């Protein structure tokens, strides 16, 4: 057998939105079960990367490739990517009034697993995950994200990740807008999620969440590129010295 195939291999990825280049040559390799963190300032293109991975139609890939499980997914619609084992927890999940969380979760799990799950079995699985995330039962009959607090939205996102059990979960600023208690609950959800079967790509601009979730790799994102990669110690260094430190290190004159 050859060496293990990477789960995700992004090579020289260039992406634009409405004609403006946002990603400018991203390279990233994630192996099964690894936890990666991407850190960077607001506006550095982190969210563009997550949307592009999931296939948002607004983002056009101009160059490069995204290989997922060895297959190019750049042209696939989002639902096909989800079925292949890719999932995205949104930074700003939208509300869908009139559609109950329970109906949606069942439809989604059925679509991704490709088969009907017996109601009872699904209920049990759901209740177990909900307990873990300290989500109340009444959540299920509410409409998707409709009138949810910031914390509730993020819990629902992680709940979905734990039900879908993707091979790669991309978590886009899942920590933003959470108070310290909610952050602990959500982090423990992420730690349950991150197993041999599920790799995690955590996108954040605070080091805070990395006190609870230990990444194998930390990448610094700047101006549409990964400019520095290290172990979990890199995040602490960033916290101490700020993003300017990376900028200065890369451009000795200090002019980025």
Partner 1 sequence: MVKTIAKERVDEITKQTAEPAWLKESRLKAFESYLKIPTPCNRDENWRRTEVDALDLSTLNVVVSDSKEKSAAKEPAVVTEALSHLGKNLPYIYTTPQSVEIGNADSALLSKGVIFCSLKTALAQHADLLSKYLAPENLPTPDFAQNDKFYLMNQSLFNCGAFLYVPKNVILESPVLNVLSSGVETSIALFPRVIIIVEQGAKAEFVNICTADKTKAADASESLSLVNSSIETYVGANGNLSYLDVSDFSSNTFAVSRVYNEVRKDGSLHASTVALGGWQIKSDIQTNLKEPGSKSDIRGVVLGSGSERYSFNTIQDHISPDTTSTINFRVALKESSSSAYLGTIRVSKEAQRTDSYQSNKNLLLGSNAHADSIPKLEILADDVKCAHGATVGPADKEQIFYLMSRGLSLLEAEELIVTGFFRQVVQSCPVDGAGDWINALVADKIHS
Residues numbered 162-191 forming contacts with partner 1, rule: CB under 8 A: 164
- Which residues is 109 bridged to in the sheet? none
CB 31 within 8 A of CB 54: no
| 111 binding partner 1? (CB under 8 A) | yes
Residue closer to partner 1, measured from CB, 52 or 222: 52
Q: Does 32 bind partner 1 (CB under 8 A)?
A: no
Residue 112 interacts with partner 1 (CB under 8 A): yes or no: yes
The rounded distance, in Å, linking the Cα atoms of 174 and 161 is 12
Asked if residue 36 lies in contact with residue 53, where contact means CB atoms within 8 angstroms, the answer is no
Instruction: Say if residues 210 and 35 touch (Cβ distance below 8 Å).
Output: no
Q: Are 222 and 193 in contact, with CB atoms under 8 Å apart?
A: no
Label residue 198 left, alpha or beta by phi (over 0 means left) and psi (-120 to 50 means alpha).
beta
Phi-psi region of 95 (alpha: psi -120 to 50; beta: other; left: phi over 0): beta
Contact residue for partner 1 among 61, 99, 132, 140 (CB under 8 A):
99
**Which of residues 6, 55, 74, 224 is near partner 1 by CB under 8 A?**
55
DSSP character at residue 28: E
User: Exactly one of 29, 31, 102, 108 binds partner 1 (CB under 8 A); which one?
Assistant: 108
Does 139 contact partner 1 by CB under 8 A?
no
Find the shortest distance in angstroms from Cβ 87 to partner 1.
Answer: 7
Please tell me whether residue 207 binds partner 1 under the rule CB under 8 A: no
Q: Which two tokens stand for residue 95?
A: 């509300």
Structure tokens at 147: 């009138």
Among 7, 37, 38, 88, binds partner 1 (CB under 8 A): 88
- Cβ atoms within 10 Å, residue 204: 23
- Tell me the window of 74-82, 171-179, 219-227, 230-238 that interacts with partner 1 (CB under 8 A): 74-82
> 82 vs 210, which CB is nearer to partner 1?
82
Enumerate binding residues for partner 1 (CB under 8 A).
54-57, 77-79, 81-83, 87-88, 90, 93-94, 96-99, 103-104, 107-108, 111-112, 143, 160, 164
């Amino acid at each position: 057998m050859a060496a293990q195939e990477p789960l995700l291999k992004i090579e020289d990825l260039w992406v634009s939105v409405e004609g403006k280049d946002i990603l400018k040559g991203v390279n990233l390799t994630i192996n099964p079960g690894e936890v990666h963190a991407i850190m960077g300032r607001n506006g550095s293109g982190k969210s563009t990367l997550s949307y592009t991975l999931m296939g948002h139609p607004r983002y056009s890939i101009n160059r490069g490739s995204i290989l997922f499980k060895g297959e190019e997914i750049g042209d696939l619609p989002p639902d096909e990517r989800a079925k292949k084992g890719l999932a995205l927890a949104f930074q700003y999940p939208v509300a869908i009034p009139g559609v109950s969380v329970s109906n949606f979760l069942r439809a989604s799990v059925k679509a991704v697993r490709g088969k009907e799950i017996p109601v009872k079995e699904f209920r049990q699985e759901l209740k177990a995950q909900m307990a873990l995330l300290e989500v109340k039962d009444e959540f299920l009959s509410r409409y998707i994200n409709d009138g949810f607090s910031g914390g509730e939205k993020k819990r629902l996102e992680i709940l979905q990740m734990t039900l879908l059990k993707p091979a790669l979960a991309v978590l886009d600023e899942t920590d933003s807008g959470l108070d310290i208690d909610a952050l602990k609950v959500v982090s423990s959800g992420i730690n349950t999620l991150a197993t041999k079967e599920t790799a995690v790509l955590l996108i954040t601009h605070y080091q805070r969440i990395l006190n609870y979730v230990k990444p194998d790799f930390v990448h610094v994102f700047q101006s549409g590129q990964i400019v520095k990669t290290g172990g979990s110690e890199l995040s602490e260094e960033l916290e101490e010295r700020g993003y300017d430190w990376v900028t200065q290190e890369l451009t000795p004159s200090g002019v980025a």
